[in-house]
Amino acid sequence: MDVTILNDLSLKTYNSFKLESKASLMAFPHNNNGLAKLIQTYEGKKKIILIGKGSNVIFSKKDYSDEYLFVSLKLMDNIELIDEKTISVQGGAKMSDLVWFAIENNIKGLEFLEDIPGTVGGGIIMNAGTYRNTIGKFIKSITYYDLTKNEIISREVEEENFGKRKSYWSENPSIVLSAVLQSEQGDYVESLRITMQEKEKRYMKQPRNYPSAGSVFVRPEKDLKEHVVWELLDKVGLRGYAINGCCFSEKHPGFIVNIGGAEYEDIIELVRIAKERVLEKFDVELNMEWKII
Ligand SMILES: Cc1cc2nc3c(=O)[nH]c(=O)nc-3n(C[C@H](O)[C@H](O)[C@H](O)COP(=O)(O)OP(=O)(O)OC[C@H]3O[C@@H](n4cnc5c(N)ncnc54)[C@H](O)[C@@H]3O)c2cc1C
């Protein structure tokens, strides 16, 4: 048995926005073979939805009937040291676990990822990172299930496989199974210091006392000058702007937070208002970072 299948699951613990939703069917493959068999069984019969930690998704339905198959790689979370600067990690491992593993093995460079919620698979799909650094810069090779060719492929990656909050694997139907990352030898204590410093900065800036799905919009580029989204949203009067159970955070207007009982329709209305106001005032088009499921 290399897949565990569960029925009628609450999705509340599978999305950091804490929306109430239900999945009729969720599968947890134990290994690559289990995943391949699962996909080959259900391809064409069900809509397949990969879910990592759900920290960048918004559920649009209250009930995903049995025409949907949710797949979680939660049971594929192994992390292994290949050599003193190289790590192999499965797609279901948490990014923070990967970073702590690196720190404990005196590998530096990944500290910026520790406080970004999510799995390695979700991180590769979204090319997770900060303004300066992204996970893509450290990846040497990826093993993925290609949903077009229906096979597992392992290959070296190129720089152009990663873009701003996107990657080759988000643009081509695929399931990220594992990756090999490479960085440099460092010092445990120094990495610990950087990690805690980063974490503190982020907690001071971000509204961590309410559920959210991170930044709503990708930082836009216009006339080669980058625009900071939260400033644009602030200038169009959206700081603290609420519809029922959700609002643009008072602390950081780049985040929409669930202040209690948020509903999909209200969230999407906030997004619509933001896009409209920013386009009107600054002639800047905002694109959502979130994935709507
Ligand atoms: C408080 C907070 C702070 C955040 N800060 C940042 C930040 O600083 N930088 C940043 O980049 N992001 C940030 N995010 C967003 C989020 O953490 C990242 O986008 C993260 O990479 C999402 O990973 P996940 O596993 O939760 O993916 P999910 O949200 O579960 O999924 C995201 C997308 O990837 C797909 N997917 C997931 N796993 C796989 C897989 N194995 N194979 C194929 N597809 C898959 C899903 O179908 C979905 O389309 C933040 C979020 C929160 C809540």
The predicted pLDDT at position 66 comes to 87
CA dist 42 and 151 (Å) reads 14
Q: Cα(113) to centroid of ligand 1, in Å?
A: 12
Q: Do 186 and 115 belong to one domain? A: yes
Q: Cα(289) to centroid of ligand 1, in Å?
A: 10
Which residue, 160, 190, 220, sits at the end of a domain?
190
Q: Cα(119) to centroid of ligand 1, in Å?
A: 7
Mean pLDDT of 248-276: 97
CATH code, domain with 224: 3.90.78.10
Q: Do 222 and 185 belong to one domain? A: no
CATH code, domain with 94: 3.30.465.10
| β-strand pairing of 107-108 with 184-185 | antiparallel
* Span between the terminal Cα atoms of the chain, in Å: 29
The predicted pLDDT at position 1 comes to 62
Q: Do 179 and 247 belong to one domain? A: no
Atom of ligand 1 nearest to the CA of 120: 25
CA dist 249 and 276 (Å) reads 18
Nearest CA to ligand 1 atom 37: 122
Nearest CA to ligand 1 atom 38: 122
- Asked if residue 199 belongs to a domain, the reply is no
Q: What percent of the chain has pLDDT over 90?
A: 94
pLDDT digits (tens, 9 = 90+) for 117-152: 999 999 999 999 998 899 999 999 999 999 999 999
- Asked if residue 200 belongs to a domain, the reply is no
Structure token pair of residue 275: 């896009």
Q: Do 119 and 162 belong to one domain? A: yes
pLDDT digits (tens, 9 = 90+) for 143-180: 999 999 999 999 999 999 999 999 999 999 999 999 99
Q: From the CB of 39, is ligand 1 less than 6 Å away? A: no
Q: From the CB of 249, is ligand 1 less than 6 Å away? A: no
Catalytic residue list: 165, 215, 289
Q: Cα(87) to centroid of ligand 1, in Å?
A: 20
Structurally, the chain folds into a number of domains equal to 3
CATH code, domain with 41: 3.30.43.10
Nearest CA to ligand 1 atom 10: 128
Which residue, 158, 190, 222, sits at the end of a domain?
190
Q: Which of 55, 98, 210 to mutate to test the pocket of ligand 1 (most atoms within 8 A of CB)?
A: 55
Which residue, 162, 190, 218, sits at the end of a domain?
190
Its pTM stands at 0.96
Q: Which pairs from 37-43 meet CB under 8 Å and 24+ separation?
A: 37/2, 37/3, 38/3, 38/71, 39/145, 39/147, 39/150, 39/175, 40/150, 42/69, 43/147, 43/150
- Asked if residue 16 belongs to a domain, the reply is yes
pLDDT digits (tens, 9 = 90+) for 174-201: 999 999 999 999 999 999 999 999 999 9
Q: Do 99 and 139 belong to one domain? A: yes
CA dist 100 and 97 (Å) reads 5
- Residue in this structure with the two tokens 């210091």, named with its chain if needed: 193
Q: Do 288 and 212 belong to one domain? A: yes
Atom of ligand 1 nearest to the CA of 206: 1
Range of the domain at 114: 79-190
Q: How many CB atoms lie within 10 A of CB 203?
A: 12
- Asked if residue 195 belongs to a domain, the reply is no
Instruction: Give the three-class secondary structure for 201.
Output: helix
Q: Do 88 and 182 belong to one domain? A: yes
Q: Do 238 and 141 belong to one domain? A: no
Q: Cα(131) to centroid of ligand 1, in Å?
A: 16
Q: Do 93 and 183 belong to one domain? A: yes
Q: Do 31 and 93 belong to one domain? A: no
Q: From the CB of 54, is ligand 1 less than 6 Å away? A: yes
- Asked if residue 237 belongs to a domain, the reply is yes
Report helix angle 188-205 to 95-104, nearest 10.
Answer: 150
Q: From the CB of 119, is ligand 1 less than 6 Å away? A: yes
